[in-house]
């Protein structure tokens, strides 16, 4: 009987020894390796998400670049011609015809070079129409996709009783040819 108890005790001790030894030699290294992988994942995951989302960032940047290019094109719409005053007249004449305003004169008053191949241009435009037609004309000019800045406006009575004469000082961007 003593032998059986001794063998059972020895078996339990051996079982505990092997269990603890197995835990130390197998499970602990696995836990350490898993912990290292988790830390590596925490470090790599933000960079991965940034790379993963970068096509969206690039696409958004490209869209903004297209919008900016379109704005620049609209601002420099007169630069495509060697005769910006002629282009301006054609543009203003279309608006004037739609709004029933008569263009009396369009005179270039200044040219200033800025940058390479660019110039700032100013004109005096005299038009005649009813007060409301002139307001509609200005509104249409301001809503036009073509950039044109109204620097100054003067309004005086026209030749006929119900007409007004308006003189505008305009500026825009053109190209040096």
pLDDT number for residue 80: 60
- List, for residues 102-133, the tens digit of each pLDDT value: 989 888 887 777 767 677 788 899 999 999 99
CATH fit for domain 84-175, picks 3.10.129.10, 3.30.70.60, 3.60.110.10, 3.40.50.620 = 3.30.70.60
Find tokens 């620097």 and name the residue. 151
- List, for residues 43-102, the tens digit of each pLDDT value: 888 877 776 677 777 777 788 888 877 766 666 656 666 677 777 787 888 888 888 999
Entry pTM: 0.55
- pLDDT category at 30 given cuts 50, 70, 90 is confident
154-158-161 Cα angle (round to 5): 135
Judged by DSSP in three states, 101 sits in coil
Distance from C-alpha of 81 to C-alpha of 98, rounded to nearest angstrom:
24
What interhelical angle do 84-99 and 131-143 show, nearest 10? 130
Q: Where are the domains of the chain?
A: 1-75, 84-175
Distance from C-alpha of 71 to C-alpha of 93, rounded to nearest angstrom:
23
136: pLDDT strictly greater than 70: yes
């Amino acid at each position: 009987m003593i032998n059986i108890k001794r063998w059972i005790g020895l078996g339990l001790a051996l079982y505990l020894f092997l269990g603890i030894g197995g835990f130390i030699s197998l499970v602990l290294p696995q836990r350490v390796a898993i912990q290292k992988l988790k830390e590596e994942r925490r470090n790599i995951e933000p960079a991965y998400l940034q790379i993963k989302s970068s096509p969206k960032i690039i696409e958004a940047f490209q869209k903004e670049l297209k919008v900016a290019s379109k704005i620049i094109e609209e601002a420099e719409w007169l630069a495509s011609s060697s005769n910006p005053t002629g282009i301006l007249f054609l543009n203003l004449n279309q608006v004037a015809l739609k709004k029933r305003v008569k263009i009396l004169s369009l005179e270039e008053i200044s040219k200033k070079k800025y940058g390479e191949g660019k110039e700032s241009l100013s004109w005096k435009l005299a038009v005649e129409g009813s007060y409301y037609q002139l307001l509609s004309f200005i509104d249409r000019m301001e809503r036009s996709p073509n950039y044109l800045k109204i620097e100054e406006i003067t309004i005086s009575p026209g030749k006929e009783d119900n007409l007004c004469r308006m003189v505008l000082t305009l500026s825009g961007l053109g190209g040096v040819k």
